[in-house]
Amino acid sequence: MELIGEIQDIIYRNEINSYTVATFETDEESTVVVGYLPFVGSGDSIKVEGKFVEHREYGRQFKVDTFEKLLPQTEAAIEKFLANGNIKGIGAATAKKIVKRFGQETLHILKDDPMKLSLISGISTKKAKEIGEEFIQNWEVWQLVGFLDKFGIGAEQAKKVFDLLGANAKEQIEENPYILIDIARGVDFAQIDKMALDLGISYDNEKRISSAVKYALIRSTYNGHACVQKQNLIDYVAQLIDVSSENVEDALINLKAKEEIVIEKRSEKEEYVYLQDFYQVEDEIAFRIKRLQKAKNVKKVNNLSKLLEKVQENSNIELSEKQKEAVNLVNENNVIIITGGPGTGKTTIIKTIIDIYESQGKKLVLTAPTGRAAKKIAETTGREALTLHRLLEIGKIDEEGMYKHNDYEGAPIDADLIIVDEMSMVDMFLMSYLLKCIYQGTKLILVGDVDQLSSVGPGSVLKDLINSGEVVTIHLDKIFRQAAKSKIILNAHRVNNGESFIPKGEKFVDEGTNEDFFFIRENSQEKVLEQVISLCTGRLQKYGNYDFFSSIQVLSPTKKGMLGTKELNKALQQALNPNTQHLPEKTSNGAIFRQGDRVMQIKNNYDIYWEKEGEDGQTIAGSGVFNGEIGTITQISEKEKLVEVLFDDQKTAWYEFSELDQIEHSYAITIHKAQRKRIWRSNNGSSAIFANATN
């Protein structure tokens, strides 16, 4: 259904995603429209497509699927449109003057002959030109936003598309919709394809098939893949757009000839297809690693054995032979990988390396891919640690820019040794940026567990480097005595080895082993949810001081579904922090944030201000809250439009309402988020309880 009319008033607008509730007047009636309407304000004439729905509380509404911004027709509408601040340089008074002078020709003047505006008192020729340019650009962007919404492309990306294509962007896309595959991420290929077919493009058109291939390759990167098996790619594309395998083969040949893809033959039967950029990044990583390896070992220390003995004595520790071997290999090589599961002594090796090399005046840099991982290694070593993004000064690069590796030129890192912890979470682009910034002769130590979840971005750098056999690698497999007292650690290694959990009462387990691991079987998701709520709301207290807000963290492998973090957070919030006392709350992006809620920062923010009390009682101020940090909402102020969060490290940060997309509830978090986070806060040690729906 289509309606044409004028926005009378904005009742509500989400500042983050532009979800809007507005009164809307057509020639026939006045109604309420709801939907995503970026850049739309009161006085705007728009065409909307959608349907009327009945809201149980607010009654009849028109739900907008797509919209198009129209030029206002009447003088009153034109004046209102200009007075709303749509055009920089035109306020209410200026709008009145312009419409009084040009009437219904006003918008034509703005678009085609803006210099005539200088005839009006107070508008110089320079200002007239600027207003005209502003109008044309904004108008084209507005048109493009509404148009691209059909393809699942939001306002922010629409602006980027406009910046890339320039004037007549809409016309260019209508002529060849497939160009969106190359310039916009997350596009709805099915919508693009439908539009192209409607425009008369044939099923076997080479542009169509080539675009489908690139779409499939781009989509695979969202799942962490740098390349795809050729035959799997052919089968997927052929099914996606209903063409023959031969057609897809021909498209691959053409794309290869244009140097848009690379086809790598790894064996007689196996071929892999890369987007050109991704192949170049892999090749660059290999080249730079080899160059580092071949460089002269100028950072090597003398008398290592004596230095090692001294460090062990001062630290009151005794390294295993494998750990000593790791320290020696670091000294003898410029690039080395230290890998092993939990409890195998990786952190002890890092601390030992730091102590040895610092005693010899060497400068070390500690880094990790996430804010929480960097914070953890800093706490365990007592040294400063930076995220890779901060170290490489790429925190401001947007998601698309992260994939334009040739544009990155970072400053060299001033260090003798660089230690990267949690290497399993480093993607191929982040690795390439790091290698670009390392001086020849610098030692690079990569530490991680290949059995942990891999990076969110494309590529499994740590695993691939190990499997290549080209980088010196030390595998730690001994579980140290202290760690071996935990069934959590023991079971982690059993799972990695393809074994089942330790049965309760297993005889071979040491008597001193902690009963800190429990597995609960249930026959339905509903029962699992009941168990989780029961455990979190008091059932665990009889086993120790397990208060939820200080000692318990719920983990889930997924965000979606009844047992995903989204639904778990809703259920746990209702159980643990219900609004029975009319606590202050703020709704943002569909989530209700309430005073007392547990929340987590979900992206690195280097600028957010915080304060905390120092040991001397003085206030310490700083900036930066990082992905994975957990805290509690202590205040919500409607007057100041601020949410106050007290984080677990006792710093207090303040979020404007427009910044609430940076936090989410943390009653339950994904396992991926939980990696290397201090989520167990009890002084009595940690326990793990697993609930599983068996059907």
Angle at 578 (CA atoms; ends 572, 579), nearest 5 degrees: 150
Can you give the pTM of this predicted structure? 0.68
* Closest to 98 in 3D by CA, of 125, 80, 113, 79: 79
pLDDT tens track for 67-102: 777 777 778 878 877 777 667 778 888 888 888 989
The alpha carbon of residue 593 and the mean position of all alpha carbons in its chain are separated, in whole angstroms, by 21
Cβ 70 vs Cβ 4: under 8 Å: yes
Cβ 46 vs Cβ 70: under 8 Å: yes
Rounded CA gap, 539 and 595, in Å? 24
Q: Residue 38's pLDDT is what?
A: 74
What DSSP letter does each residue of 567-608 carry, written as one string?
A: HHHHHHHHHHS-STT---EEEETTEEEETT-EEEE-S-EEEE
Q: Residue 680's pLDDT is what?
A: 34
Helix (H, G, I), strand (E, B) or coil at 278: helix
Q: Across the chain, which distance is largest between two alpha carbons, in Å?
A: 96
Rounded CA gap, 302 and 311, in Å? 15
Q: Looking at residues 636-654, what average pLDDT do you find?
A: 91
* Residue 398 scores a pLDDT above 50: no
Residues in the chain: 695
Determine what percent of the chain is predicted with pLDDT higher than 70: 89
Among 530-539, 599-608, 656-665, the minimum mean pLDDT is found in: 599-608
* Residue 306 scores a pLDDT above 80: yes
pLDDT, mean over the chain: 84
* pLDDT class of 513 with cuts at 50, 70, 90: low
* pLDDT class of 261 with cuts at 50, 70, 90: very high
Highest mean pLDDT among 352-356, 409-413, 422-426, 623-627: 352-356
* pLDDT class of 401 with cuts at 50, 70, 90: very low
**DSSP annotation of 425:** G
pLDDT tens track for 279-294: 999 999 999 999 999 9
